[in-house]
Amino acid sequence: MSGKNTVSEKRVGERIAAAWIASVINPALTVLAFEQQQLKAKNYMWQFPGRLGSLRQVKQMIPFGCVPNLELFEMYYPVISENIKIRDEEVAQLAVTCMNLQREILDSGELEKIFTRLTTPENLARLGKRLDDMFPGGYKPEDLGWIAQEVINHTGNLPTHINHYPLWNAHQKEFMEVVNSEQVKGAERLVDRAGEKLLKTTEHLIKLLEDARTRLSIEYDVPPRASTDSIQRASKEAVERLSKAKPGDVQEIAGSQIQLLSAYYQLVLDQAKKGFIVALIMASVGVVFFLAAVLFIFYWNVRNAAYVSAVGGAIVEVIAGLNFYLYSKTSGHLADFHNRLDGTQRYLLANSICESLEGEYKQTARIELVRAMARIDSSGATSQATAAAERK
């Protein structure tokens, strides 16, 4: 990996610098930071039957219609461009190793033995579920791939909108035993090595992008964070994209939804960061007031000034506490946006799989997908209404 970045001697204008920050650097940093977190936890975001879910090429992180900005940015930052190519190649290599690990898990026969042992009528009765409930369309041997996916990703507890969550959440330790066989263990080591290599490259790319953003911000007097105006433009683009999409074009409609949710996610993230900084500053100021009160009493014996300082510190701390509370509420909204993005991506994958099916299986899968979406939307609306009623 290359270190120091060299920029073409030809200068760019303020608008280009602002566009690079808003439409290239910040979106890439947001996604890369999430990927960095997942890679550290050895969650490779592998999705059965064979793709990396949220691990994407850098070009796919850029908002719709802004890829030319990325291409121009790479022309001026050749070292970053080189590291982007290296990272994208390592993503492809990780996909290959995950596919090999999935094949080894399924071919070893160990996962099937564990699955059979854990899905006896007695165990299913304890879960209160049938196999057909957890695997839409009825359980088939190839559905073991969904369990293999969780093993590869070192998945913790699954959310309740994932059909097989009762089985995995109750027996994840038993399922993870499949990697203890020598045949599977070797393939897992290769995945972990590829993941560690990608993590190092991702961290280096994050550093290069942050350095580039800092230099552009200082040189062109452009704020490093996306402004509300840029988020509004992204939202407008997403709405226009949605309005022009054909009713049957599921991928285009879902893509516009992801773009819109990403814009809102960025807005809430910016607000959360600002709220946390303000709360931290206010808390620090409150501590200074309290320390001053102590000094006034014990060192200078000026009680009136001490009382004023203590009261002022208490007021400031209350304000800081309110800011921390607002920050926690904003963080909750961030989690909600992330869950919605994850759900939309899963539906995109499910729709893509449906397209690869033929005949009656294709229609059956589509029907089950629509039903699943309708159930989640209705349950989500009900829970939101209940929460609203409780707040009242």
Q: What pLDDT score does 124 carry?
A: 87
Q: Do 114 and 178 contact (CB within 8 A), yes or no? A: yes
What distance lies between CA 75 and its chain's CA centroid?
28
Confidence at residue 316, expressed as pLDDT on a 0 to 100 scale: 74
Q: With pLDDT > 70 as the criterion, what percentage of the chain qualifies?
A: 68
Amino acid 235: pLDDT: 53
Q: What is the pLDDT of residue 387?
A: 42
Structure token digits, residue 30 = 């947001």
Categorise residue 128: left if φ over 0, alpha if ψ from -120 to 50, beta otherwise: left
Name the more confident of 389 and 184: 184
Residue 196 has pLDDT above 60, yes or no: yes
**pLDDT tier at 261, thresholds 50, 70, 90:** low
Mean pLDDT within 365-391: 51
User: Looking at the DSSP assignment, which residues form a beta bridge with residue 46?
Assistant: 52
pLDDT score for 217? 92
Query: Residues with Cβ < 8 Å from 54, sequence gap 6 or more?
Result: 31, 34, 35, 38, 45, 342, 345
Question: Residue 118: left (phi > 0), alpha (psi -120 to 50), or beta?
Answer: alpha
Q: Is the model's pLDDT at 117 over the cut of 70?
A: yes
pLDDT exceeds cutoff 60 at 4: no
Average pLDDT over residues 304-313: 73
H helices of the chain, in order, are: 14-20, 26-40, 67-76, 78-108, 110-118, 121-127, 131-134, 144-152, 165-176, 182-220, 228-244, 250-298, 303-356, 359-391
Please provide the DSSP assignment of 331-342 as one string.
HHHHHHHHHHHH
CA distance 240 to 385: 29
Phi, psi (degrees; rounded to nearest 5) at 175:
-65, -35
Highest mean pLDDT among 90-99, 223-232, 288-297, 337-346: 90-99
Q: What is the mean pLDDT of residues 252-256?
A: 56
- Comparing 7 with 24, which gets the higher pLDDT? 24
- pLDDT class of 384 with cuts at 50, 70, 90: very low
User: Does residue 309 sit in helix, strand or coil?
Assistant: helix
Phi, psi of 52 (to 5 degrees): -85, 120
Whether 392 shows a pLDDT value over 60: the answer reads no
pLDDT at 188 (0 to 100): 93
Q: Measured between alpha carbons, how far is 72 from 10 in angstroms, rounded to an integer?
A: 13
Q: Dihedral of CA 74/77/82/83: which sign? A: negative
Give me 18's structure tokens. 């602002």
Banded model confidence at residue 357, pLDDT cuts 50, 70, 90: low
pLDDT of residue 268: 64
Q: Does position 38 have pLDDT exceeding 70, yes or no?
A: yes
Scored b (16 or more CB within 10 A) or e, 147-170 reads bbbbbbbebeebeebbbbbbbbbb
Q: Averaged over 78-96, what is the pLDDT?
A: 95
How far the first Cα of the chain sits from its last, in Å, is 56
Q: Taking CA 190 as the corner, what is the angle to CA 184 and CA 196, rounded to the nearest 5 degrees?
A: 135
